[in-house]
Amino acid sequence: MKQRSLGNTGELVSAIGLGCMGMTGRYGPADEAENIGVLNRALDIGLNFWDTADMYGNGENEKLLAKVLSSRREEVFLATKFAFRPDGSGKMGVDGSPAYARQAIDASLRRLKVEYVDLYYAHRVDPGVPVEETVGAMGELVKAGKVRYVGICEAAAENIRRAHGEYPLAAVQSEYSLLTRGPEESIIPTCLQLGIAFVPYSPLSRGLVTAAMPEPETMAADDFRRSLPRFKGENLERNKKLVEEFAALASSLGCSPAQLALAWVLHQGETLLPIPGTKRLKYLEENAASVDIVLEKETLARIQALLSAHPTAGPRYDPGNLDLVDR
């Protein structure tokens, strides 16, 4: 597996990571034995940049990873996150307070059964807490030996600069893919200027640009894509036109749509470290092979022509989730 630098940290991690969220829900049922097989195989092929969060499966995702970390901790560059927290009404809110950062890391370490995490993200920017306070507290966790590096997710460029000024950020994570290109405007350039790694989540557009995406009516009842505007009605029909033409292009190049989509993300810059998620061995191997695909200028131009001809239909989140994104 090819490696890339994690910003200016001097750390090398696998050029693509493994998003683990789907192993404990959100995308339908999952099998624990199969998940553990995927996690072990990921390490066998050198895919060591793992991404989880305390909210995934209400902590069950971290507990799942612990079953592999117990014997292979030193092989993993482990990232987890905090800040999502139910409010008094049960609705999901954001808590970036220093007190909660300290509480959350201790809980994550217990679930993961490790002494430290390599990368600790604030999952969202708390509008009620200055980002300097949140990141400053995370920096204290580094000094305490519980965290090695810190990062933030879905942050606007201004807050990235403010956070980095308080404590050096190793990584910024935001959604980025063929269908979600907003970070190109200011977030990716800011990360590049400051020497911060940019970690795209959902680089396969939650499966929309792959050949494996099921029709919405066949998705599991708890598959959260059912709530996403891009997967509904006229938006979905319009997006399918791009997906179909993109699949044809991938076929002509001798690769899968997922591999072409990941190769495109990787070609956007050496500072990018996409973290596609999967709970299937087949797709793990497929995704890993994308690091070896070289895209010529002509191919990149053809992809851009497709994107221009078929603009993405629908926002990436429903209004409630969009309200939690720092814009």
CATH number of the domain bearing residue 193: 3.20.20.100
Query: How many domains in the chain?
Result: 1
**307 falls within a domain:** no
CA nearest neighbour of 192 among 290, 298, 272: 272
Which parts of the chain register pLDDT below 70?
Answer: 27-28, 211-219, 221-222, 224, 226-227, 313-314, 317-324, 326-327
d(CA 177, CA 274): 9
CA nearest neighbour of 78 among 55, 52, 100: 52
The pLDDT of residue 327: 57
Residue among 27, 56, 100, 167 flagged as catalytic: 56
d(CA 120, CA 79): 6
**245 falls within a domain:** no
Residue entry with tokens 């580094």: 142
Q: 214 in helix, strand or coil?
A: coil
CB 155 within 8 A of CB 172: yes
The pLDDT of residue 242: 87
The pLDDT of residue 315: 76
The pLDDT of residue 239: 80
The pLDDT of residue 245: 93
- The alpha-helical segments, DSSP class H, found in the chain are 32-44, 60-72, 98-112, 131-143, 157-166, 187-194, 233-253, 257-266, 281-289, 297-309, 319-322
The pLDDT of residue 321: 67
Question: Catalytic: 317?
Answer: no
Range of the domain at 142: 3-211+259-292
CA nearest neighbour of 292 among 257, 247, 259: 259
What does each C-alpha distance from 4 to 25, 35, 228 come to in angstroms?
29, 25, 32
The pLDDT of residue 249: 96
Query: What angle separates helix 281-289 from helix 257-266, to the nearest 10 degrees?
Result: 40
**99 falls within a domain:** yes
